[in-house]
């Protein structure tokens, strides 16, 4: 169905809904957590690469990718955190590393903060897991009542433009099609719209306290001096250098790589450069 995504599908049932994930390779566990409006497809090349030496698990959040897309579900940050925790518990994962991007930062770090002793390493890609009031106008428009819903769900005005606005190198047609295939109708874009509306900017936003809790969890990871590698696309109009600098401030010992000519989908624009860095970062010697 997806030539660029040759992985076996697995499903975990949460309530009455099926959560899709891929589970490739053997060895130390790496959990990859995507954002909006992507899905585990974003990690396809990293899955293939790192599963040679590791067990790689890549989730599709409910409403995203090949997971169920219920129309009456509460697509809030805490529920996404709980769903990822449920999957790791179901798979009996006692320790793991993380790769996080976009909303995956808050979701993945939310899980990490609940059990920081289980976290081995973290790879950060153009994301945030802390409070900020910065939001581009083009995204804030998608939050407007009625208009935002029509733009995102009716006109595909969020996932559609992302395949060229989130990169600096033009995507191949089959890659762009892969990103968009799960979001091909009003119903299938329910979570895309919900993620945008759920961005917690102030104390009045429903997921604000959940984000505060995620931010507090970061402090636990800092205290444990979890190894971290930050790979950042410098031409990201949303998660710009302000967010990169904040990660560097919070984790001053992190290994950092700033790709000034790459966009938000940094794994699309700079995969050739990132691949050997990721291999080295996640490599486990026999003594580890």
Q: What is the pLDDT of residues 24-78, one digit of tens each?
A: 999 999 999 999 999 999 999 999 999 999 999 999 999 999 999 999 999 999 9
Residue 5 lies in a domain: no
Q: Which residues contact 9 (CB under 8 A, 6 or more apart)?
A: 20, 22, 66
Sheet holding 119-127, edge to edge: 10-14, 17-24, 55-59, 29-33, 96-102, 119-127, 228-233, 255-259
Residue 191 lies in a domain: yes
Residue 66 maps to which CATH number? 3.40.50.1820
Residue 150 lies in a domain: yes
Residue 1 lies in a domain: no
What pLDDT band is residue 287 in, cutting at 50, 70 and 90? very low
Domain that holds residue 137: 10-282
Residue 2 lies in a domain: no
Residue 120 lies in a domain: yes
Residue 97 lies in a domain: yes
What is the tally of structural domains in the chain? 1
Does residue 151 carry a pLDDT above 70?
yes
Does residue 280 carry a pLDDT above 90?
yes
Average pLDDT, the chain: 95
Residue 273 lies in a domain: yes
Q: Which residues contact 30 (CB under 8 A, 6 or more apart)?
A: 50, 54, 55, 56, 57, 96, 97, 98, 99, 282
């Amino acid at each position: 169905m997806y030539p660029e995504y040759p992985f076996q599908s697995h499903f975990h049932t949460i309530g009455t809904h099926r959560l899709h994930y891929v589970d490739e390779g053997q060895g130390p566990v790496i959990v990859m957590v995507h954002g909006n409006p992507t899905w585990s497809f974003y990690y396809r090349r990293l899955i293939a690469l790192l599963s040679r030496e590791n067990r790689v698990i890549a989730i599709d959040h409910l409403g995203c990718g090949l997971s169920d897309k219920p129309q009456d579900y509460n697509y809030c940050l805490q529920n996404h955190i709980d769903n990822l925790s449920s999957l790791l518990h179901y798979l009996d994962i006692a320790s793991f590393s993380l790769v996080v991007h976009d909303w995956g930062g808050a979701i993945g770090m939310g899980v990490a903060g609940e059990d920081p002793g289980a976290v081995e390493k973290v790879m950060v890609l153009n994301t945030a897991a802390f409070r900020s009031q910065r939001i581009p106008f083009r995204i804030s428009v998608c939050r407007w009542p009625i208009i935002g819903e029509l733009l995102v769900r009716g006109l595909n005005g969020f996932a559609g433009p992302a395949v060229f606005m989130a990169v600096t190198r033009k995507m191949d047609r089959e890659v762009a099609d892969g990103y968009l295939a799960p979001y091909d109708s009003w119903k299938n874009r329910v979570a895309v719209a919900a993620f945008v509306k759920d961005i917690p900017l102030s104390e009045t936003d429903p997921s604000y306290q959940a984000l505060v809790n995620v931010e507090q969890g970061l402090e636990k990871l800092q205290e444990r001096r979890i190894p971290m590698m930050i790979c950042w696309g410098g031409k990201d109009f949303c998660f710009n250098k302000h967010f990169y600098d904040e990660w560097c401030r919070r984790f001053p010992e992190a290994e950092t790589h700033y790709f000034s000519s790459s966009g938000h989908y940094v794994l699309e624009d700079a995969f050739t450069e990132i691949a050997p860095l990721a291999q080295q970062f996640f490599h486990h010697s026999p003594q580890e």
